[in-house]
Amino acid sequence: MRAAASIAFSGRAMGSPLRLTSVGLTAALAQRAWETVTAEIEKSEQSLSRWRPDSALSRLNATAGNGSWTSVDGRLFALLIASARAHRISGGRFDPRVVARLEALGEEAGVPLPAIPDRLGSDRPWLACDPRRRLARIDAPVDSGGIGKGLALRWAATALRRGALLGAGMLLEAGGDLVAHGQQPDGRPWQVGIEDPAGGTEPLAVISIAHGAVATSSTAVRRWISPDGDGVHHLIDPFTGEPGGDGLEAVTVAGLDPAWAEVWSKTLFLSGRRAIGTEARRRGLAAWWVEADGTLHLTPAARQQTSWTVADRVA
């Protein structure tokens, strides 16, 4: 069978490399698809970036803890609702308020945050919303983080579908997160590699995915030395205020939606080595995780989507 033509575009957005590979589109339609993606991502950054002082998120964070209501746009409203739901469903493991703790640990700061008491790990509601008037009130600054990237990918993929710009296949990637549709150029489902967090050049496994999303939470990239001289990473356990995921290096989750794949990859990572298997299987998630000794573990649902692994690295 003759391979279908593919056209790829690349750039940078949301602090990550951004790449679109389209299959079965003309050059003109592929260009339109890329322009649609970059326009959608820019809209998301205008709303959700904590690095832009004029973003809707930065304006909302400036009011954190002062009791005032703030008008928010549709994207930020969707982020807040999704984050609150993820916080509830994860039992508090997913908490968008870790941004202040990240900066206290020395991660490069975005827009300055208001100084308010640390409320991480508390059961106190942090968000109030008025859906009719689209108003929000928060008791602590929040970060769009991975869920924001996942939502941006969701909205970009939706715009491609609405514009009939998917062709035979599409792979949209932003750092460790991606959305796939249809087939790669050789007619097979997309083959996505799980990177070795230790820096190996070969993937530890290859996932087969035709329709859906993949997200990875890993300590491989965002690591630094804290003001106290400790080596830290960005995956903060809200119950301790410290980097979490004891015994783990990376967690990958595949699902239907990129935002929720991101939520579960982070939630599972923060469960730690001893609890992750039980938690992932209980929730029926397709999850792959790499422990500190380099071994790769898979849930039953993940095995069904795995087309290849490094045999001597699988537990």
Please report the DSSP string for 15-50 in residue order.
TEEEEEEEES--HHHHHHHHHHHHHHHHHHHHHH-S
Tell me, yes or no, if the pTM score tops 0.85: yes
Mean pLDDT by 10 residues, the chain (315 residues): 78 93 95 97 96 95 94 97 96 92 83 74 81 94 94 97 92 94 94 92 95 95 86 92 95 98 98 97 97 96 96 88
Q: How far is CA 149 from CA 83, 152, 167, 208, 215, in A?
A: 12, 5, 24, 22, 10
**Cβ pair 144, 56 in contact under 8 A:** no
Give the position of tokens 């870790």.
98
Domains of the chain are 6-42+166-313 (3.10.520.10), 56-143 (1.10.3980.10)
**pLDDT value, residue 279:** 97
**Structure tokens, 204:** 């530890």
**pLDDT value, residue 1:** 44
* Rounded-to-integer distance, Cα 260 and Cα 305, Å: 18
**Cβ pair 274, 240 in contact under 8 A:** no
**pLDDT value, residue 118:** 65
**Structure tokens, 50:** 């904590």
**Cβ pair 222, 197 in contact under 8 A:** no
DSSP string, 238-296: TTTTEE--TTEEEEEEEES-HHHHHHHHHHHHHH-HHHHHHHHHHTT-EEEEEETTS-E
